[in-house]
Structures are given as structure tokens and as C-alpha cells.
Amino acid sequence: MTGRVRVVIVGGSFGGLTTAYELRRRLGPERAAITLVSKDERFTFVPSLTWVAMGSRTLPQISFDLTGPLARKQVSFAHETVTGIDTERKVVTTTQAEHPYDFLVIATGHRSANEAVEGLGPFDGPGHSPMSPPEAEELAGAVRTLLADPGPVVVGAAPGASCIGPAYELAFELDHLLRRHELRHLVPITFVTPEPFLGHMGMGGAGKIRQLLEGELEERDISYRTSAAVTKITADAVELEGTGAVPSVLSIVIPPLAGVDAVAKSPGLANPKGFVPADAHYRHHSADGVYAVGVAVALPPVGETPVPVNFPKTGHMTEQMAQIAASDIVARIGGREGATAELSARCVLDMGDRGAYLAVDPVRPPRNTIPTVSEGRRWLLAKRAFERTYLWHVRHGRRMPTALGW
């Protein structure tokens, strides 16, 4: 391929920024015109939304405006909402313009399918979820109400959820917060999960994470129910299929995810759930020049479970996908094909007073190495330090090395 190629990236979170930075590192402005389109003007460090919900962070502390960092990389920024993608014409349509492309990277993230559980609001029902900045702020208000008027709490995930780690974090963080306020004895906490066992997390478990989580929940007097299917949330209970209702004045439930509407409704682009089918290079199976990275990618579950649990997609994994896709785009411009790699995962789980570190390679079993599982206060300190370091790097137009994991 000769001439200056046009690359359009849809989405300004982990996948979109990593793709933009990696492409610009490999392709100068004279070789590629890169445009990033995002409905959000600010980048938000999504893993810290649980801290926003618990009141230990504010949104301005974990976010920044995208305009400056992208301008320094000579990446055009279109603060616009995508309404459709025409893969025949190779055009991304927004509420304000049309953006033609030679290569398109879909990094749109997800739509929370809250409608899958009756009553899972937070803005049209009593249930709460921290999956977006407005929802995290709303949950922070609900937590403050709980501290003023204690009562039973349910924390967990709905059938079909793939982002289950934050549910564990919220249960541990809430337990720690209540103990600090000397209110824990007034607040029974129940953890409900579609996983067949604790620590499954959509990847079939990993090493000793099951035993660690079982011990940590039991040590904190947090009761738990596995293979639990949340069917309805009311103002004073969470209803589970086959086992009845669990009393709750504060119900925090991670919803299943779906693809965003603009992708889901574009002909020939997505599967019935709105996710984009892709190969090992994260290229679309049939649409020329189209890639997808992160939550937008259709990835099959590890296996069947009594209650559906979907494959996890973390920020760390999203950045790996983005690097593979960017590498393949550069290779294809040169008439070659990029390398592929199995996804690995390294993450730290906040447990309130300490953290747990988990490393798996690859994510999908069987694995080449025995997973690493470690626990201690140093991991919580490392998680806090990583948040600040990551934000500093991306705010200044730099890509954080994904080998560090998170």
C-alpha cells in the first residue's frame, strides 16, 4: 500500500489510546493520518471507578481531557458520537461528520445491558452498578446513605457477566469501609455470583485464587452464593432464581455487557450481542480493513457453566489486543502480516486493607505456567501507585508498558 493511509479509531479509552499511540510511534504523520473519534471528551481510568464509588477518589482525579495528549501525538480528535459504520463505503458516520478510512479500529468498549435484570438501575431502578463514571458517582451517594442508615447489602454479578473482578473488590472495599466507621456489625453482606465457584472469573479459575477468595470472604463474615442467577432487584431485596430473595437495602450488581448500538446496528459488522467477530490479528472476519480491540471483540466463553459466565476482558488484555492490531496494520501497509500472541493477564484485586495479585499466561486454559497468586498489603500499595503512574504516562502521550500488568 502506497501513499498516506487514513486510520480511524473509534473509542478513547484503553484500546483506542493504545492503538493511536502505537500506530503513531510506528507511522509518522507523513505516512498515516490518524483520527480518534470518541463520544467522551475525557479518558477515565476505569479500574478506579470502584474507588469513586467508595468515596476515596473523585472523577477529576482519575480522568483527563483527551485533546492535549492526542494533539501532541499529531492525532486528530473528533469529539463526536458515532451513529453508524458503512464497511462497503469504508466510512464512519457521526452526528457531525463522515470519516472515511483505509483502516478502522473499533475500540468502543461496551454497553451495560442493565435491562437483563429487572430493577438494575441505577437511574431507572433500585439496583446500582459502577460500570460508568455517572453510575460510580451515583453509587457513591448510595454508599453515603448506607453509612447514615445501615442495613443488609448484596454485592455481585448478573448471569452472563464478564467483568466480575470489580464485584469482589466492591464487597471487600465496602466491608473495610464499614469496619472503619464501626458499622460492620449492622450490615450483613452477601456476595452473589453466576460463577460455579469463587475465582472462576470467566476464565475457568486460576491456581489458588479460589481458595484465597473463599478464605478471605469467610474471614470477613461475607456470605456467598455461587451459580446464583439474579432475576430481580427491589428496594429491599435481591431475588435469585430457585432460592428466593436475599434482604438488601443496597444492591450492587455488575450487569452483562453488550456491544454499543452504533456497532450493533451496522450491517454485517457484529454478532447478535453487538460484539465484533475477529481473528487472531483482531481483524474482522469479512470487512476489509476493520479491526476490533477490547470489550468490543466477540470472544467465546471458556466453557459451559450452570449459570452463564462470559470471558473476561481487562484493560491489560485490551492493550495487548491493541498492540497486536496496530502491529498488523503497520505490517499490512508494508504488504506483510503482523504477529499474533495469546492473551495473558496480570491484575491486582483490592481487598480493602490489602491486595491480591494474579498472573495467568495464557488467560484461556490450559496454561504454559502455573498461575501466580499472591496476597498482601504491598499489592494494594502497588495498585495505588500504578494508577497514578499510568495516568501520568497516558496524559503525557506515552504508552505504559503492558508487561507490568494490571
Q: Provide the annotated active-site residues.
A: 163, 347
Structure-derived torsion over alpha carbons of residues 398, 400, 392, 103, reported in degrees to the nearest 10: 50
Strands (E), 67-219: 76-79, 82-86, 91-94, 98-100, 103-106, 111-112, 153-157, 189-192
Query: 65: Cβ–Cβ under 8 A, 6 or more apart, which residues?
Result: 41, 42
Question: Nearest 5°: phi and psi at 280?
Answer: -70, -15
Three-state secondary structure string covering 303-316: CCCCCCCCCCCCHH
As given in the structure block, the three cell numbers for residue 365 are: 486454559
How would you classify the pairing of strands 189-192 and 222-225? parallel
Q: Which long-range contacts (CB under 8 A, 24 or more apart) does 218-222 make?
A: 220/172, 220/175, 220/189, 221/189, 222/171, 222/175, 222/189, 222/190, 222/191
Q: Which of 4, 11, 6, 45 is nearest to 276 (CA)?
A: 11
Q: Which of 40, 31, 299 is nearest to 163 (CA)?
A: 299
As given in the structure block, the three cell numbers for residue 325 are: 492490531
As given in the structure block, the three cell numbers for residue 400 are: 505504559
Rg (CA), the chain: 21
As given in the structure block, the three cell numbers for residue 222 are: 461475607
